[in-house]
Amino acid sequence: MAAMTVEFTEVGFAPDFVDYSGAWDQQRKVHDAVVAGAAGNTVLLLEHSAVYTAGKRTEDHERPFDGTPVINVDRGGKLTWHGPGQLVMYPIVRLKDAHGIREYVHTLEEIIIETLAAFGVAGVRVEGRAGIWLRADGTAPDRKIAAIGIRVHDGVTMHGIAINANNDLAPYAQIIACGITDAGTTTIAAETGNDVGPAALVPILEAATRRLLGPLVEDFTPGLVATGTAAVQHPAEGVLA
């Protein structure tokens, strides 16, 4: 498979957590630059300060029960939580096929599954449920360990994935995460008994992203806007997975 030419940027990890609004502004600036051909494919890696974010399909009854503020964002999907102990990756890359949203999401799922496997966690897809899951095992129900929420505009991606490494699960008790009421959430640490933090996942995630996402991404030189993709004007959104 083709290797992907991309700049990976570690924006901030514990104790330097990244404010969601600031990271969103950074995403938009990088996205504009990639669309314009002024910047190359970029992937941002970080841990957020604690925050709830709501995609466009979020319903009022799914919001925090205690009135905690929520940031409304322009990705697809519903409500989720970000915060310390969770690894977030935002690929801002030019897709070869600007309409290949399903293939892009499938590849992000594969990247997550491979990263989890390196730590002894068997993540899977569950029919009818977006995201990466651990199946019920007799002692626990199906439980979600990673989320995906994307946006593609002018052929360039935004938002991305979040993998629960060793974060506190209590914030999920205050919401109906991703609109799912009959399953739980979990972390790598909870499943393995090992205190695996987000930074430990980065080398595995980066290698998997370069290899698996490479065939989908347009390799271009900053300053030269790729033809064919820049003409796509309508945004597409992926479900929060």
Pairing of strands 51-54, 70-72: parallel
Answer for the pair 166, 85: CB distance below 8 angstroms, yes or no: yes
The contacts of residue 59 (CB under 8 Å, 6+ apart) are 78, 179
CA nearest neighbour of 201 among 162, 148, 241, 156? 162
Answer for the pair 238, 148: CB distance below 8 angstroms, yes or no: yes
Catalytic residues: 178
CA nearest neighbour of 79 among 24, 157, 149? 149
Q: How long is the chain?
A: 241
What does the DSSP 8-state code read for residue 217?
A: B
The sign of the torsion formed by the CA atoms of 216, 221, 223, 227 equals negative
Answer for the pair 121, 188: CB distance below 8 angstroms, yes or no: yes
